[in-house]
Amino acid sequence: MTPAFSIIFFTTASGAGYGLLFVLSLLVFDRALPAAFVLTALAVALTLVSIGLVSSTFHLGHPERAWRALTQWRSSWLSREGVAALACYGPALALGAAVAVGAPRETVIALALATGVLAAATVYCTSMIYASLKTIAAWHDRRVPALYLLLGAMSGLLLARFLLAAFALPAHGLPWVTVAIVLSAAQVKRAYWRAQAEHRSASSLGTATGLDRLGRPRVLQPAHTERNFLLKEFGFEVGRRHASRLRRLAIAFAFGVPLALAALSALPAFALPAATAAVVSAAFGLVLERWLFFAEARHTVMLYYGGAAPAPSRSVPTTGG
């Protein structure tokens, strides 16, 4: 798949924003926090979410019709994502208002938890847009929703650590929760890459044309002389040529460096510089990870053009273990 920068930016930025909303809701539930901190965290989270949402409309042919995408939530994960994303603004903004006017703690907690639930739901819907596509085996994997949720939580935790340090507030156990989530995300990503390498797709040029009845087909004559929409959208090879090097970079910046810095940030003396560097490193690493998520994914339509079988994977609902 050809990576669209607007979608990479949207999924990483809004993932971080919703992650921060989720972590903030748990922090608010956990303890009473200064209003200035909650409002700043909300502003940072909603800015990331909003920039991401606006950026996601850049790749549309008709951004002015984007509102129509809210109508088909019965069948479409993209529509569900839009509905959940907008719905999340309600309790998030109300939470800000409640904190600003000093509303009772029960009200604040109720709004925070509603925000957290809708933030997680939005990220889940985003992941299901990809995981529901049978045509792209690299995405049709039950680990994909887990990864999106874990990476969102990880981004949120790193941002929350940064904000706590900036406000000179104690982190309590947050750095260690972060370490656990980073390790889990890295583990799921490793399992995902291993599954990708191991499994074989059921689709081939033989099944795509039905010519497996006769023997082994190969491309003799391309259907057109120039690149068409399909080749532009799905015929992306650069990512695969450099995949192993880019994967190592993604692992280092998204998981390795943030892991060490999150642990270091438990020491008050290093809290702010370590938390700041962790956010920067993770941002770079996650953009790289998301870029690979697109660049390494193969679509079945490329079989007709002599492409390799889609990167194999287990189907989402049926496998366990």
Minimum CB distance to other proteins, residue 222 (Å): 7
Q: What angle do CA 187, 192, 197 make, to 5 degrees?
A: 130
Q: Is 314 helix (H, G, I), strand (E, B) or coil?
A: coil
Q: In angstroms, rounded to a whole number, what is the distance separating the alpha carbons of residues 261 and 34?
A: 25
Q: Smallest gap, in angstroms, from Cβ of residue 54 to other proteins?
A: 14
In the complex, minimum distance from the CB of residue 134 to other proteins, in angstroms, rounded to a whole number: 6
Compare residues 42 and 138 and give the one whose CB is closer to other proteins: 138
Q: Return the number of the residue (30 or 212) whose C-beta is nearest other proteins.
A: 212
In the complex with other proteins, the residue whose CB is nearer, 23 or 129, is: 129
Smaller CB separation from other proteins, 190 or 199:
199
Whichever of 106 and 226 has its CB closer to other proteins, that residue is 226
Return the exposure string of 133-146: e unless at least 16 CB atoms fall within 10 Å of the residue's CB, then b: beebbbbbbbbbbb
Residue 307 CB, shortest distance to other proteins, in Å, is 11
Q: Is the Cβ–Cβ distance between 146 and 266 less than 8 Å? A: no
Which residues would be at the binding site for other proteins (CB under 8 A)? 1, 59-63, 65-66, 68-72, 74-79, 82, 129, 132-136, 202-203, 205, 207-211, 213-230, 233-234, 299-301, 304
- The secondary structure of residue 142, as a DSSP letter, is T
Dig out the tokens for 97 from the structure.
Answer: 């208002």
Q: At its nearest, how many Å lie between other proteins and the CB of residue 226?
A: 5
Distance between CA atoms of 235 and 237, rounded to whole angstroms? 6
Q: For the chain, how big is the Rg over CA atoms in Å?
A: 21
Q: Report the C-alpha gap between 296 and 294 in whole angstroms.
A: 6
How many degrees, rounded to 5, is the angle at CA 25 between CA 184 and CA 48?
A: 80
Contact 131, 139 (CB under 8 A): yes
- Shortest distance (Å) from residue 257 CB to other proteins: 33
Question: CB-wise, 59 or 105, nearer to other proteins?
Answer: 59
Q: Are 251 and 151 in contact (CB under 8 A)?
A: no
Nearest approach in angstroms of CB 316 to other proteins is: 13
For the bound state, the minimum distance from the C-beta of residue 292 to other proteins, rounded and expressed in Å, comes to: 17
Q: Residue 138: helix, strand or coil by DSSP?
A: coil
- Residue with smaller CB distance to other proteins, 19 or 307: 307
CA distances from 277 to 37, 260, 263, 281 (A): 20, 11, 12, 6
